[in-house]
Structure 1
Amino acid sequence: MSDNDLGTFLRGRREAVTPAEAGLPAGPRRRTPGLRRSELATLAGVSVEYLTRLEQGRDRNPSAQVLGALADALHLSLAERVLLRRLTERGACAEDPLVCAAAPPLSRTVRPTVRAVLDRLEPTPAVALNWIGDVLARNQGFERLAGPLGMLDGERPNLLRYVFTDERSRAAYPDWADEADDLVARLRHDVPLRDPYVTELADELTVTAGAEFADRFADLTLTPRRIGNRRVRHPRAGALHLLHETLALPEDGQWITVHLPADGATAAALDRLVGRRPGALRAVPAAG
């Protein structure tokens, strides 16, 4: 991870906000596509010199009031405001590692109760993951959904490696870029503040997947989705439209992802795939 994530994020968002969005005249001869540093400083009520220090990484611990003012001036969404606070915490760690607790050990197993939850969710496909995308446990519904896609191949399946290094993932996901964005956003932002496992995996995928991974990992505007939908081309079940929900297990650094059919055709296809009686899985309408 960069030593100046906070500055990179602020500069990127400043350049993305147009003068019109900030209520300012565009004016002639603008050298930046977004706001000038002086304009953002005025809108946020800070000095240009202080904003420069933040963007250059010479000050990494702004107050909550300054963060709030910058977030308002940049029209940040709730997810972006959470990210801004998290990047500030990372900056404080970089300045003084003693202010941050060491990251807990990376989990490679799940608790028996988590396995029981996965089993109780049958026949709905469900999987438990850790923060770098390792598949830790899954139920039979998920095995029958993901196995034929090649997602579970290998001794230690990992969703990021599958998406970025296995060509079958591009056939499986018609919206491959969205899947890649979401997985990298989780790796980038849903991890302990100091985590060597993330750095190790990021270095590996930068070598094996190149710019398709590295550019996403450098993009601080990507934020993970907790809910959403995905389309899957399944070699046995055909075209599937799935909704997914994420159930966080923060004390373990894990989460459970549950896949639900979004329409009747997908529900029927999943019923056939998991070998259950017709009607065991029912379509769940997406929120309008």
Structure 2
Amino acid sequence: MKDAESGNRLGSYLRARRELVSPAQAGLPPGGNRRVPGLRREEVALLAGISPDYYLRLERGRDKNPSPQVLASLARVLQLDETERAYLLGLAAARPRAPRRKRPEHVPARVHELLAHLQIPAFVEGRAFDVLASNSMAVALSPRLRPGHNRLRSLLLDPEERAFQQDWTQATADFVAALRTTIGDDTDDPRFVELVGELALSSSRFRTLWARHDVRGLDGGTTTVHHPAVGELRLHRDKLPVDDVILVLYYPDKDSDSDEKLRLLAALAHTGPTGTAHDEPTDSPRPGTT
């Protein structure tokens, strides 16, 4: 993230978002010989009620203090939702700051105890989607949920994770957008810099999604996965903040087909492939490595 984008994050975001709005979506005739995707700069300026020169200065980082009224107009033209609008306002309000010392992400002892008692897949993740701790049910659901793995890296680079996801395309879009939201103004955080740099080099899918500047939360929801042993599972996801980390829970509807399959998976996880019982949470001394 030590690139042109980090020095002009507001302009990069405006440019990325206008390229995603078609003339038809903005109520304009498509016209001919368009050399850019989405809206032209002068079209955004016209629709927002500002001068083309001023909008150009915003995109090029020459003016980083637009008024709330201008930002509201730009958000309307760019058709931003509530999360995206808040992100835009945050970019405009950001000010240079001294680098902050980052505390190591720590899983409280009580959470390890909780993981050991839970009978559903549960794990702890850090801000960059590093798996910090997990129970045996989480590992039975996916070996990529062992501590030391990174969920986004697995999603983008591991073929088994791609097959595991019913809708890999949507999952990657959601995770990358959530990462950008989480990063916020912590563009100098070493873990974020490392992860973004690695994925930018290794994944064309990541490069495409990162260039879109999508932002959204990745909290509760429902997902469908394809487990190699028990088949399709439809699971709800909840994320609960605990101190500086996140406890993630996956669970099915009670008495559903997925509930029955998860009980089967629990039996398999308890005995293991050799028939030896094992049911303990695991922890990683170095989150972010695989």
TM-score (norm 1): 0.78
Asked if 1 retains the 8 angstrom alpha-carbon contact of 2:131 and 2:145, the reply is: no
Which residue, 97, 100, 108 being the options, matches 1:111?
108
Partner of 2:43: 39
Q: CA RMSD in A?
A: 2.7
> Higher relative contact order at CA 8 Å, sep ≥6: structure 1 or structure 2?
2
1:268 to 252, 255, 260: 260
Quote the Cα distance in structure 1 between the aligned partners of 2:234 and 2:121: 13
Q: 1:49 maps to what in 2?
A: 53
Q: Could you say which residue in structure 1 is the equivalent of 2:249?
A: 258
Task: In structure 2, list runs of 5 or more residues that go unmatched.
Answer: 269-290
SS of the residue 1:53 aligns to:
helix
- Map of 1:119-198 to 2, 5 A cutoff? 119=116, 122-147=118-143, 150-152=144-146, 156-191=148-183, 193-194=185-186, 195-198=189-192
CA distance in 1, matches of 2:177, 2:213: 8
Spell out, residue by residue over 1:132-181, the C-alpha distance to the aligned partner (whole angstroms, 9 max, x if none): 1111122333232223xx442xx722212322332221222232222222
Separation (CA, whole Å) in 2 of partners of 1:73 and 1:202: 29
Query: Of 228, 239, 254, which residue of structure 2 is paired with 1:235?
Result: 228
Structure 1 residues 58 and 204: CA distance shift in structure 2, 3 A: same
Identify if the C-alpha distance between structure 1 residues 25 and 216 changes in structure 2 by more than 3 Å, giving closer, same or farther.
closer
In 2: Cα distance, 1:256 partner to 1:179 partner: 19
The alignment of Structure 1 onto Structure 2 pairs a total of residues equal to 261
Q: 1: distance between equivalents of 2:35 and 2:150?
A: 44
SS in 1 for 2:38: coil
Distance 1:204 1:230, change over 3 A: same
Q: Distance in 1 between matches of 2:157 and 2:185?
A: 26
Contact 2:122 2:137 in 1 (8 A): yes
Q: Which letter maps to 1:210?
A: S
1:80 & 1:247 partners in 2: Cα distance? 23
> Could you say which residue in structure 1 is the equivalent of 2:72?
68
Q: Is the 8 A contact 2:66 2:92 kept in 1?
A: yes
- Residue 194 (structure 2) aligned to one of 200, 214, 222: 200
* SS of structure 2 residue aligned to 1:34: coil
1:13-67 deviations in whole A, cap 9, x for unaligned?
A: 2233234433444456555443332332233232222211111122233233322
1:276-287 matches, cutoff 5 A: none
Deviation of 1:269 after TM superposition, in Å, equals: 0.3
Partner SS state of residue 85, structure 1: helix
SS at match of 2:142: helix
- 1:180-213 residue CA offsets vs partner (Å, 9 max, x unmatched): 2222223222135221211112222333x23122
User: Where does residue 283 of structure 1 map in the other structure?
Assistant: none
Distance 1:19 1:191, change over 3 A: closer
Question: Which of residues 200, 213, 217 in structure 1 aligns to 2:206?
Answer: 213
Match of 1:280 in 2: none
Tell me the residue number matched to 2:11.
7
* Aligned-partner residue type, residue 124 of structure 1: I
Structure 1 window deviating more from structure 2 (15-24 vs 73-82): it is 15-24
What is the aligned partner in structure 2 of residue 246 from structure 1? 239
**Matched letter for residue 214 of structure 2:** T
Partners of 2:171 and 2:24 in 1: CA distance: 33
1:62 match: secondary structure: coil
Contact 2:16/2:211, CA 8 A, preserved across alignment: no
Unpaired runs of at least 5, structure 1: 277-288
Identity %: 37
